[in-house]
Amino acid sequence: MEIVAWLHDNITPIKTPTFSSYGLKHVLERSLGGWYVTNGEFIAAALIAGYPYKHDAPNPLFGMSARDIKRLEQAAR
């Protein structure tokens, strides 16, 4: 539930799923200072948080703001 809260507080949902869960989990890990999060944990948290998604094997795509993701990546550097 901590990941759900973090997603809610940091990434705005958008309608079009464009970002892979696997890449997003790495954004989360870097933003949290090295936490390890499995791809499955990230997927479950994003679904619980209500982000739009599209099945794209092996990793679903999620509708998350590119601006927010870029901001988080820059802050983690």
What domains are defined for the chain? 2-76 (1.10.10)
Phi, psi (degrees; rounded to nearest 5) at 45: -65, -40
- Across the beta sheet with 61-62, what order do the strands follow? 19-20, 61-62, 53-54
Note the pLDDT of residue 41. 97
Q: In this structure, what are the phi and psi dihedrals at residue 13, rounded to the nearest 5 degrees? A: -70, 145
Give the pLDDT confidence score for residue 68 in this predicted structure: 98
pLDDT attached to residue 57: 84
pLDDT in tens, the chain (77 residues): 999 999 999 999 999 999 999 999 999 999 998 889 999 999 999 999 999 999 988 999 999 999 999 999 999 88
pLDDT of residue 65: 98
pTM reported for the whole predicted model: 0.93
